[in-house]
A and B are shown apart, each in its own frame.
Chain A
Amino acid sequence: MEFMDLQKIKSTVIYGLEETGHISRFAGRFFAQAFRPPFEWKEFFKQCYLIGYSSLFLVSATGFIMGIVLTLQIRPTMISFGAASYMPNMVGIAFIREIGPMVTALICAGKIGSGIGAELGSMRVTEQIDAMEVSGTNPFKFLVVTRIWAATMMLPLLVIAADFVGLTGSYLIESTRGDVTATLYFGRVFSSLVLGDVIPATVKTFFFGFVIGLIGCYKGFFSKKGTAGVGKAANSAVVLASLLLFLVDFLAVLVADIFYTI
Chain B
Amino acid sequence: MMSASTYDQTKPLLVLKGVKKAFGHHQVLKGFNLELYPNENVVILGKSGSGKSVLIKCLVRLIEMDEGHIEVLGRSMADVEQDELDAIRTDVGFLFQGSALYDSMTVRENLLFPLRRHPGRMRGRSEAELVREALGNVGLEKAADLMPDELSGGMKRRVALARTLILKPKIILYDEPTTGLDPITANEIIQLILKLQDELMTSSLIITHDMDCARVISNRVVILQDGINYAQGTYSELARSTDPKVKAFYKEVQNPIDG
Interface core residue of A122, A130, A131 (most chain B CB under 10 Å) = A131
A131 proximity list for chain B (CB < 8 A): 94, 96, 100, 102
A122 proximity list for chain B (CB < 8 A): 103
Contact of B90 among A127, A132, A136 (CB under 8 A): A136
A123 and B117 alpha carbons, distance in the complex (Å): 19
A262 within 8 A of B: no
Residues B118 and A136 in contact, CB atoms below 8 Å apart: yes
Residues B62 and A135 in contact, CB atoms below 8 Å apart: no
Interface residues of A in 16-63 (CB under 8 A from B): none
Q: How large is the interface on B (under 10, 10 to 19, 20 to 34, 35 or more residues)?
A: 20 to 34
Known contacts being A127-B97, A128-B101, is A136 close to B89, with CB within 8 Å? yes
A132 proximity list for chain B (CB < 8 A): 102, 113
A137 within 8 A of B: yes
A133 within 8 A of B: yes
A4 within 8 A of B: no
A192 within 8 A of B: no
Residues A127 and B87 in contact, CB atoms below 8 Å apart: no
Contact of A136 among B62, B104, B117 (CB under 8 A): B117
* CB closest chain-A residue, reference B91: A136
Known contacts being A127-B96, A130-B62, is A136 close to B114, with CB within 8 Å? yes
Interface string of B78-95 (1 = CB under 8 A from A): 000000001101101010
B57 proximity list for chain A (CB < 8 A): 130
B36 proximity list for chain A (CB < 8 A): none
B87 proximity list for chain A (CB < 8 A): 136
* CB closest chain-A residue, reference B95: A131
Residues B100 and A130 in contact, CB atoms below 8 Å apart: yes
Residues B60 and A135 in contact, CB atoms below 8 Å apart: no
Contact of A135 among B97, B98, B101, B167 (CB under 8 A): B167
Residues B167 and A126 in contact, CB atoms below 8 Å apart: no
Known contacts being A135-B114, A137-B114, is A127 close to B86, with CB within 8 Å? no
Closest CB-CB distance, B64 to chain A, in whole Å? 13
Chain A interface residue count, CB cutoff 8 Å, equals 15
Residues A136 and B100 in contact, CB atoms below 8 Å apart: no
A134 within 8 A of B: yes
A165 and B94 alpha carbons, distance in the complex (Å): 51
A133 and B63 alpha carbons, distance in the complex (Å): 11
A135 and B163 alpha carbons, distance in the complex (Å): 9
B97 proximity list for chain A (CB < 8 A): 127
A119 proximity list for chain B (CB < 8 A): 104
Interface string of A127-148 (1 = CB under 8 A from B): 1101111111110000000000
Interface string of B107-140 (1 = CB under 8 A from A): 0000001100110000000000000000000000
Interface residues of A in 128-178 (CB under 8 A from B): 128, 130-138
* CB closest chain-A residue, reference B101: A128
Interface string of B166-199 (1 = CB under 8 A from A): 0100000000000000000000000000000000
Residues A134 and B113 in contact, CB atoms below 8 Å apart: no
A123 proximity list for chain B (CB < 8 A): 102-103
* CB closest chain-A residue, reference B94: A134
Contact of B62 among A126, A128, A134, A137 (CB under 8 A): A134
Closest CB-CB distance, A53 to chain B, in whole Å? 15
A52 and B170 alpha carbons, distance in the complex (Å): 43
Known contacts being A127-B97, A130-B62, is A135 close to B102, with CB within 8 Å? no
Closest CB-CB distance, B29 to chain A, in whole Å? 18
Residues B90 and A135 in contact, CB atoms below 8 Å apart: yes
Closest CB-CB distance, B211 to chain A, in whole Å? 25
Residues A127 and B98 in contact, CB atoms below 8 Å apart: yes
Interface residues of A in 103-141 (CB under 8 A from B): 119, 122-123, 126-128, 130-138
Contact of B117 among A126, A127, A128, A137 (CB under 8 A): A137
Closest CB-CB distance, A18 to chain B, in whole Å? 16
A134 proximity list for chain B (CB < 8 A): 60, 62, 89, 92, 94
Residues A126 and B114 in contact, CB atoms below 8 Å apart: no
A223 and B33 alpha carbons, distance in the complex (Å): 31
Contact of A128 among B90, B103, B114, B167 (CB under 8 A): B103
Some 27 contacts from A to B, beta carbons below 8 A apart, are A122-B103, A123-B102, A123-B103, A126-B100, A127-B96, A128-B103, A130-B57, A130-B96, A131-B96, A131-B102, A132-B102, A132-B113, A133-B89, A134-B60, A134-B62, A134-B89, A135-B89, A135-B90, A135-B94, A135-B167, A136-B86, A136-B87, A136-B114, A137-B86, A137-B113, A137-B114, A138-B86
Counting from the closest, the 4 A-B pairs by CB-CB distance are A136-B86, A135-B114, A131-B100, A127-B100
Starting from the known contacts A131-B102, A134-B62, 13 additional A-B residue pairs (CB-CB under 8 Å) come to A126-B98, A127-B98, A128-B100, A128-B101, A130-B96, A130-B100, A131-B96, A135-B89, A135-B90, A135-B113, A136-B86, A136-B87, A137-B113
